[in-house]
Structure 1
Amino acid sequence: MNMTIPGARVTDVRASLPRHKTLRYGRRKLSDIRSAAIHHSATVSGSPEAFARYHVGTNGWPGIAYHFVIQKDGVIYWCNDPEAISYHVGNSNRHALGICLVGDFRTQKPTTAQLEAANRLIQHLQVQIPSMKQVLGHQEYPGYAWKNCPAFPMGKFRLDYSQYLQKPVDKADKPQQAPVAISLNGSLLSVTGFLKDGVSMLPVRAVANAAGGKVEWIEQTKDVRVNGKDLTEMVVSGSAYAPARELAAVLALHVEWDGSTNTVGMRRGV
């Protein structure tokens, strides 16, 4: 795999990290990889070597859990072949690729260099591995809702990642585009959304309340959740907006787009 990433520093440490004397990780095809799993190390500092020693010596694993580790200075360490089925998200290991940012983001924040490196790495990997369409936090995988990892808002990360290297959006003002009408079970709502890069963005609280969903604001991470699920939201004039299909999915609604009237139709059932 080509790991030359413009604007990023990548160090290949696959051959030098501690490995178990006899155990080896299983292998998969690149096309088996469906998501990138974002972790924090939950340590104030650390290195791939230190993590590998712990994973091998204490946990008894074949090698380091992560495929990539990103230091605070933005250097990306390549730790495992993507084909390796390493141990980092339980039953989802076979289809997930692990990316760990060094730091304890319960008390710290990831550095700008780390986030930029993560964005560049993910964009590069999605070209190399087209099947890797999702970017999820550790706690978003089945069985890990209890775990505060990576301990920073994944909705904001995904939004920033999708906008990376593009002209920043002024989130203080609503984008000047044609409004998107919203229909729920055949009735028009009094609120509207807007189009952003061809995606219908809908007001989270208004739509969720109308559909009987539960909306939570997570003050610690400045993130919004609907029915316990994180969203790829953006904040405009103090209100959270999310992609129509994402919002419909967490509300168990079927969604259709009527381009002739700029209307998102959402309804129960198919």
Structure 2
Amino acid sequence: MNITIPGARVVDVRTSLPRHKTLRYGRRKLTDIRSAAMHHSATVSGSPEAFARYHVGTNGWPGIAYHFVIQKDGVIYWCNDPEAISYHVGNSNRHALGICLVGDFRTQQPTAAQLESANRLIQYLQAQIPSMTQVFGHQEYPGYSWKNCPAFPMGTFRTNYSQFLQKAVGKVDKPKQVPVAIKLNGALLSATGFLQDGVSMLPVRAVANAAGGKVEWIEQTKDVRVNGRDLTEKVVSGSAYAPARELAAVLALQVEWDGSTNTVGLRGEV
């Protein structure tokens, strides 16, 4: 497997970095990845090899914490498979992919080459991993508000990344969404969903409330949970939508599709 990113150099060091003799990182599905976590190394200089030696030898971790490391010259080092649940944002590790820019940005600034490579890398990853819709700084994850990492303003980074995307891909017309009606135990709900790539996406809060489910919104990571379980949600105009079958499963509902009327039928105990 190779990663080819136009305008960026990627070096695959996954098999050459120091690893723990016995410990291994857990694995996940690509669809588990919700966000890219931005870090700085908090060192004036460094390398994936040096970081891996520290993470393994000093911290006792299975391997290097990051999935990618970007040097000051913009070269991207591929350090872990995206499926690896590496240690870099605590309880959010399962849903986050770690990207580290070499440097101590408390006293330095990221180089233009680093920021350009970071933008290109995230663009590539979001195309390969559509569920990775968010980009956060380390300190924006739950439990890390105290940590000055990556020590550059993430709001500015996200704005610049958005502008980068607009220039890279141009303005694309949004496809027309086909509305989907929703019935719960035969009763038509006032809320509607929509079809996306052949999948019925339903409004999480409206359906969960009608079915007696518990909805939680995790502000730091922009994740929604129903009955304590994560969903592969999509946020549209401030509202979270999830695949009908996935939402039905966490609500213990049966689901059926009526293609003649574009209606999702949900049945269960209310």
TM-score in terms of structure 1 length: 0.62
Q: Which residue is equivalent to 1:7?
A: 7
User: 1:167: how far off?
Assistant: 5.0
Separation (CA, whole Å) in 2 of partners of 1:2 and 1:130: 19
Q: Where does residue 27 of structure 1 map in the other structure? A: 27
1:135 counterpart letter in structure 2: V
Structure 2 equivalent of residue 157 of structure 1: 157
Query: What pairs up with 1:1-270 in 2 under 5 angstroms?
Result: 2-164=2-164, 166-167=166-167
* Code of the aligned partner of 2:55: H
Paired AA for residue 57 in structure 1: G
SS of residue matched to 1:38: strand
Q: Write the distance in 2 (CA, Å) between the matches of 1:114 and 1:165.
A: 16
Partner SS, residue 164 of structure 1: helix
CA distance in structure 1 between the aligned counterparts of 2:2 and 2:32, rounded to whole angstroms: 18
Q: C-alpha distance in 1, partners of 2:93/2:165? A: 30
The residue type equivalent to 1:89 in the other structure is V
1:2 shift after superposition: 4.6
Q: What are the superposed Cα offsets for residues 197-220 of structure 1, whole Å, 9 maximum, x if unpaired?
A: xxxxxxxxxxxxxxxxxxxxxxxx
* Pair 72,123 (structure 1): closer, same or farther in 2 beyond 3 Å: same
Q: Which amino acid aligns with 2:12?
A: D
Once the two structures are TM-superposed, the CA of residue 112 in structure 1 deviates from its matched residue by 0.1
Deviation string for 1:206-249 (max 9, x for gaps)?
xxxxxxxxxxxxxxxxxxxxxx98xxxxxxxxxxxxxxx67x9x
For residues 67-117 of structure 1, the C-alpha deviation after alignment (integer angstroms, 9 at most, x for no partner) is 000000000000000000000000000000000000000000000000000
Amino acid at match of 2:80: N
Q: C-alpha deviations, 1:128-147, integer Å up to 9, x for none? A: 00000000000000000000
1:53 & 1:18 partners in 2: Cα distance? 6
C-alpha distance in 1 between matches for 2:99 and 2:165: 20
Unaligned runs of 5+ in 2: 169-218, 221-236, 240-270
Specify the SS of the correspondent of 1:69. strand
Equivalent pairs: percent with the same residue? Answer: 87
CA-atom RMSD in angstroms: 2.3
Quick one: distance in 2 between partners of 1:167 and 1:41? Answer: 29
Give, in whole Å, the separation in 1 of the partners of 2:23 and 2:74: 31
Task: Tell me how far apart the structure 1 counterparts of residues 145 and 9 of structure 2 sit (CA, whole Å).
Answer: 32
In the TM superposition, residue 3 of structure 1 has moved relative to its aligned partner by 1.0
1:220 equivalent in structure 2? none
SS at match of 1:11: strand
Where do 4+ consecutive residues of structure 1 move more than 6 Å?
none
| Partner AA of 1:75 in structure 2 | V
SS at match of 2:14: coil
Distance 1:70 1:166 in 2: 23
Q: Is the 8 A contact 2:138 2:149 kept in 1?
A: yes
Contact 2:123/2:165 (8 A) holds in 1: no
- SS of the counterpart of 1:125? helix
